[in-house]
Amino acid sequence: MNVLILGAGQLARMMSLAGAPLNLHISAFDVNSGNTVHPLTREVLGQGLASAIERADVITAEFEHIAPDILEQCQASGKFLPGAEAILTGGDRRIEKSVLDKAGVNNAPYNVINQREDYDAAISKLGLPLILKSALDGYDGKGQWRIKSTEDVEATWQSVEAFLADADDRQCVIAETFIPFDREVSLIGVRGANGDTAMYPLTENIHTDGILSVSVAADDNHALQQQAEQMFKAVADALNYVGVLAIEFFDVDGTLMVNEIAPRVHNSGHWTQQGAWVCQFENHLRAVCGLPLGDTSRVAPTAMINMVGHVNVPQAIMSGCHLHWYDKAPRPGRKIGHINVTAASREALAEQLTTLSQALDSTEFPAVKEAAERLR
């Protein structure tokens, strides 16, 4: 079976590694070059989207910020899963918020801002502090503003106004009530075409400067898991979703509130490569290819540590963990790999993370120590 992935980054790469044992032939459409490439070797396999679609049995995506004309072409082929609507939902905060509302899942109150009147209305309706996010292309902390107090209102508007003036017509800004959350958790789940779902245990995430630093899957809070799974089902059913869907939540004193969704395999699910019986990459492929879903249960408590930018990784740590490099040149802020650490127990995982925090540079790996401390 030939699977075409929109996007040729590390997520496509890891899907190709997971798909090879299933005899799935994975190619990746690089939206920048217009070439279809092998996501592991970068071998150019073809040119142009039309021929790539033609050769594919199934089309899926590794990211959600895809031009509408590409989505339309894929959708028209009838081979696209989870499909244009789901990708648009993940790629446009305005659509995402309306889908969350429609699915009836708990999420922060919001207002759409196109002009100054909307901005003032948002402040008066939602109060301060406020978070503002660009509707399109907003991930890893880009296109975000925070209004802490009335003193920030004018300066922030200058910035938002300039941003909107520069942006294309589809762009807008979403103002959301600031949620004073205890921590961020995410749920990675998968839904098959027949409506079957399978969900991984919740992952706790620590971000640094808006970029995911560490994800830890060691929690056994059944009440929280149940809340998350109910919301996953509501959202996935609303979108008639097929594939892996990631949902990021705020944990506010034991009550979950959806922050955002990603219609794809997700960085906070990379721990499943060692920590779960069947990883998110394989399960996404199983779902979009119509194969039975694999076991999502946890093998052992596991942490995932991102490698971002220029990092020094002493070889010695390899004796106790798994490295996953993406074969990418390091640049500041660029994810170039991750480290998976598994342990027999929560306590042993805390121990291993403490050891790792001593072996790794704390400016390069800013959240490992905190992750260890949170486990104690």
Residue 155 or residue 318: which is nearer to its own copies going by CB? 318
Residue among 86, 58, 22, 81 nearest 278 (CA)? 22
Residue 149 or residue 319: which is nearer to its own copies going by CB? 319
**Cβ(273)–Cβ(281) under 8 Å?**
yes
Residue among 167, 168, 206 nearest 186 (CA)? 206
Q: Judge whether 141 is annotated as a binding position.
A: yes
Least distance (Å) between residue 246 CB and its own copies: 21
Query: What are the phi and psi torsion angles at 187 (to 5°)?
Result: -120, 130
Least distance (Å) between residue 344 CB and its own copies: 10
Which one-letter amino acid corresponds to residue 369? K
Q: Judge whether 363 is annotated as a binding position.
A: no
Which one-letter amino acid corresponds to residue 13? R
Q: Judge whether 110 is annotated as a binding position.
A: no
| Residues binding its own copies (CB under 8 A) | 13, 17, 20-23, 38, 40-41, 43, 274, 277-278, 286, 291-295, 299-300, 315-316, 318-320, 322-325, 327, 337, 342
Least distance (Å) between residue 30 CB and its own copies: 16
Query: What are the phi and psi torsion angles at 229 (to 5°)?
Result: -65, -40
Structure tokens at 191: 């839904």
Residue among 365, 340, 182, 176 nearest 267 (CA)? 340
Residue 312 or residue 325: which is nearer to its own copies going by CB? 325
Least distance (Å) between residue 43 CB and its own copies: 5
Residue 133 or residue 298: which is nearer to its own copies going by CB? 298
Q: Judge whether 229 is annotated as a binding position.
A: no
Enter the DSSP assignment of 21.
G
Q: Judge whether 69 is annotated as a binding position.
A: no
Residue 337 or residue 366: which is nearer to its own copies going by CB? 337
Least distance (Å) between residue 293 CB and its own copies: 7
**What sign does the CA torsion over 50, 55, 56, 61 have?**
negative
Q: Binding site membership: which residues?
A: 93, 133, 138-144, 176-179, 184, 207, 259-260
